[in-house]
Chain A
Amino acid sequence: MHTSDDLLSLTQVTIRYGRVEAVTDASFSVRPGEVVALLGANGAGKTSLLKSISGLVPVAAGDIRLRGSSILKKRPEIVLRSGIAHSPEGRRVVASLTVEENLELTGRASRRRATRADLLSGFEECYELFPRLFERRQQGSGLLSGGEQQMLAIARAIMARPEVMLLDEPSMGLAPIMTQSIYAVLSKRTGTLGEAAIILAEQGASLALTLADTACLLKRGEVVYHGPASELTAEQTVAAYMGTAEERQAGSPASP
């Protein structure tokens, strides 16, 4: 499965929570700098897959390789230090720290030899992308608005200077205008956002597809499409979210 120009590859990954199989035999790969839209309905397994990549949930079967070497069973902080930064869903920020402390925390924890200059250039990059964060850098991050917390969650991942960024539903629960402005930043693709490969998990397919080179469509834990984003048809997407036409007519979209 792994070819030499792949940066990250997942091979037949299966994830179980007790008896429930959340992801079954999922395989896909990411090339350097590529943007992959990881699409699927609520519960399709997007978050589980991202968590398995960063070592937060165990993989029952299969393999995950970064630059050819397996990262299975590595602890999350080690996965981060080897180049994969995860911005979790629900814009989780460390509310007891200020905005800048959140950034500094990751900037230092992700690279043990981060210098003051590394840190400052990281701040600069984040504040240039998200001027709002600069205005609020001394504020407790628990006091930020939802959109600002999402900006912080993305900026924090940038501080780690990753090769792969995992963005889990950056649009979740945000006002449309806020989602627009976050996507406007993501689409700039300058600096770290330009160099890193991005796996963008979203329920809303259309916005994610405007950014993506490749699409990976999940349906109940299985990859039903993996290929160029431009070739993913509306029919396929609808089928993954709502069931196929036959399934819908049968009136049982939920049955496997």
Chain B
Amino acid sequence: MQLLGQQTINGIALGMVFALFAMGFSLVIANLSVFHVAHAAVFSWGAVFAWDLTDRFGLPLVVALPGAALLAGVLNVLCYFVLIRHLDSRRDKELAAFISSVGGGIILTELISKHLNYVTVRLPDGLFPIRSWRVWGLQISSIQLLIVGVAGVTVVLLGLLMTRTQIGREVRAVAYDRELASMLGVGATSVSALVFFLSGVLAGVAAVLIALAFSQIDSRQGNAYLVLALTAMVLGGFGSVKGVVVGGLVVGLASSYTTAYLSSGYRNVVIFGLLMLVLVVRPQGLFAVPSSEIRV
């Protein structure tokens, strides 16, 4: 029972990170129908930026976390303009943009390897005070609290931005119908650039949290998370923020239970088995939104 409780806490923390990552990815899909695979490399760069800012420039985490997230956002905007924007007029633009993004991702990943001199690095010790508390016999670490807190605040802020502001209305209008949005005064290109920025920021936040939790940064880190985040997205039901968060939590919990009760070798088998199972029973995902009302 204690193990179960402990793994639940670990799973929730991990799941929140998947949810952040998946949310950024699905924002881009809703906006442009582009499968932006280089998102994984942007995630990896997010952790590298945090390493640069802390280890090289000696900045504290309160500066480095938002700093790395902003830099990841800017990098993702560059991805949009360099890899995707000019393909708009192609008839097969979704496919072309996907391939372009795959290529961009590979280049960005290689650039990280070079930047890190082909070694794995870690954030400096003592960047974040590691403590842990015992609550009802369960171990809760300060890092887990940080992850849940930062991820929770980020999700809530994103939700408010999408539902309460003009920017959010514009993003939702472009996601619904690009041509119609332009007739209503919304500049679709600037909205897309903004979406890529937000999506990069989410990836950056997730990456810094992961780097803190697992204290390892390497160039390919993002790729492993990409597949898990996509699973979270499909599981939850594409197009709803709630779905992505729940999907992320399910994947996080499945991952942490499997590691504890079976073996970490079975982790992917269990996660993808779960995905298949859910899709057989509920093909639309757990919280599907009718395609006419996709909100993200």
Q: Mark B257-296, 1 if CB is under 8 A from A, else 0.
A: 0000000000000000000000000000000000011110
Q: Which residue of A lies closest to B163 (CB)?
A: A101
A109 touches B292 (CB 8 A): no
Assess whether B172 is in contact with A94, with CB atoms less than 8 Å apart.
Answer: yes
Which of chain B's residues has its CB closest to A101's CB?
A: B169
Cβ contact within 8 Å between A96 and B184: no
Provided the pairs A77-B186, A81-B185, A109-B185 are in contact, do residues A97 and B169 lie with their beta carbons within 8 angstroms?
yes
Cβ A94 vs Cβ B166 within 8 A: no
Count of A interface residues, CB-CB < 8 Å:
25
Give bound CA distance, A76 to B293, whole Å: 24
A6 vs chain B, min Cβ distance (A):
23
| A105-B170, A105-B173 as given contacts; A140 in contact with B293, CB under 8 Å | yes
Answer whether residue A46 sits at the interface, using C-beta atoms and an 8 A cutoff. no
Number of A-B residue pairs with CB-CB distance less than 8 Å in the complex they form: 72
B5 within 8 A of A: no
- B62 proximal to A (CB < 8 A): no
B170 touching A96 by the CB < 8 A rule? Answer: no
Question: Is A126 an interface residue, CB under 8 A from the partner?
Answer: no
Residues of B within 8 A of A56 (CB): 179, 182-183
In this complex, how many residues of chain B approach chain A with their Cβ under 8 Å: the count is 22
> A73 CA to B184 CA in the complex, in Å?
17
CB proximity of B29 to chain A, nearest CB, Å: 15
- Contact of B169 with A142 in the complex, beta carbons under 8 Å: no
Nearest-neighbor residue (CB-CB) of B165 within chain A: A108
> Is there a chain B Cβ closer than 8 Å to A106's Cβ?
yes
| Chain A 102-114 interface mask (CB, 8 Å, partner B; 1/0) | 0011101110000
Smallest Cβ distance from B63 to chain A, in angstroms? 33
Asked if A189 is at the interface of the complex by the 8 Å CB criterion, the answer is no
- A80 near B293 with CB under 8 A, answer no
Task: Give Cα A108–Cα B170 distance, bound, in whole angstroms.
Answer: 10
Q: Is the CB of A160 within 8 A of B185?
A: yes
Measured CA separation A88–B182 after assembly (Å): 12
Query: How far, in whole Å, are A81 and B187 apart by their CA atoms in the complex?
Result: 11
User: Which one, A75, A105, A140, A142, contacts B184 given CB within 8 A?
Assistant: A105
- Pairwise interchain contact B293-A142, C-beta atoms closer than 8 A: yes
The reply on A132 being an interface residue by CB < 8 A is no
Residue B180, interface by CB 8 Å:
yes
Query: Closest CB-CB distance, B52 to chain A, in whole Å?
Result: 37
Determine whether the beta carbon of B292 is less than 8 Å from that of A108. Answer: no
Docked Cα-Cα span, A56 to B295, in Å, equals 25
Residues of A near B292 (CB, < 8 A) are: 95-96, 142
With A105-B170, A108-B166 in contact, do A96 and B185 touch (Cβ < 8 Å)?
A: no
Asked if B88 CB lies within 8 Å of chain A CBs, one says no
A154 CA / B116 CA spacing, docked (Å): 57
- Flag if B185 contacts A110 (CB, 8 Å): yes
B80 shortest CB reach to chain A, Å: 18
**A248 CB-CB contact with B under 8 Å:** no
In the complex, residue of chain A having the shortest beta-carbon distance to the beta carbon of B173: A94
B181 within 8 A of A: yes
B residues near A108, Cβ cutoff 8 Å: 166, 169
Contact with A along B168-196 (1 / 0, CB 8 A): 01101101110111111111100000000
A219 beta carbon closer than 8 Å to chain B: no
Please judge, given known A-B contacts A56-B179, A96-B295, whether A110 and B184 are in contact too, CB under 8 Å.
yes
Q: Is A188 an interface residue (CB 8 A)?
A: no
Give the contacting residue for A96; candidates B172, B179, B187, B188; CB below 8 A.
B172
Of residues 66 through 82 on chain B, the ones whose CB sits less than 8 Å from some CB of chain A are none
Please give, as numbers and ranges, the residues of chain A lying within 8 Å of B172 by CB-CB distance.
94, 96-97
Closest Cβ neighbor of B295 among chain A residues = A96
Contact with B along A8-35 (1 / 0, CB 8 A): 0000000000000000000000000000
Complex Cα–Cα for A110 and B181 (A): 11
Among A97, A104, A140, find the residue whose CB has the most chain B CB atoms closer than 10 A: A97
- Bound Cα distance A56, B182 (Å): 9
- Is there an interface contact between A76 and B176, defined as CB atoms closer than 8 Å? no
**Chain B contacts of A110 at CB under 8 A?**
184-185
Q: Nearest-CB distance from A183 to chain B (Å)?
A: 22
A-side contacts of B177, CB under 8 Å: 92, 94
Q: Within 8 Å of chain B (Cβ to Cβ): is A156?
A: yes
Q: What is the bound-complex CA distance between A156 and B173, given in angstroms?
A: 13
Rounded to whole angstroms, the CA-CA distance of A86 and B181 in the bound complex is 11
Q: CA–CA, A88 to B175, complex, Å?
A: 18
Residue in A88, A105, A160 whose beta carbon sits within 8 Å of that of B166 in the complex: A105
Q: Assuming A106-B185, A109-B186, is B169 touching A92 (CB within 8 A)? A: no
Contact digits for B108-125, partner A, Cβ 8 Å, 1 yes 0 no: 000000000000000000
Q: Which residues from chain B sit less than 8 Å from chain A, CB to CB? A: 166, 169-170, 172-173, 175-177, 179-188, 292-295
Complex A-B: 8 CB contacts under 8 Å: A77-B182, A77-B185, A88-B180, A94-B180, A109-B184, A109-B186, A142-B292, A142-B293
* A95-B293, A96-B293 known, 14 other contacts, Cβ within 8 Å: A75-B187, A77-B182, A77-B186, A92-B177, A94-B181, A96-B172, A96-B176, A97-B169, A104-B169, A105-B169, A109-B166, A109-B186, A110-B185, A140-B293
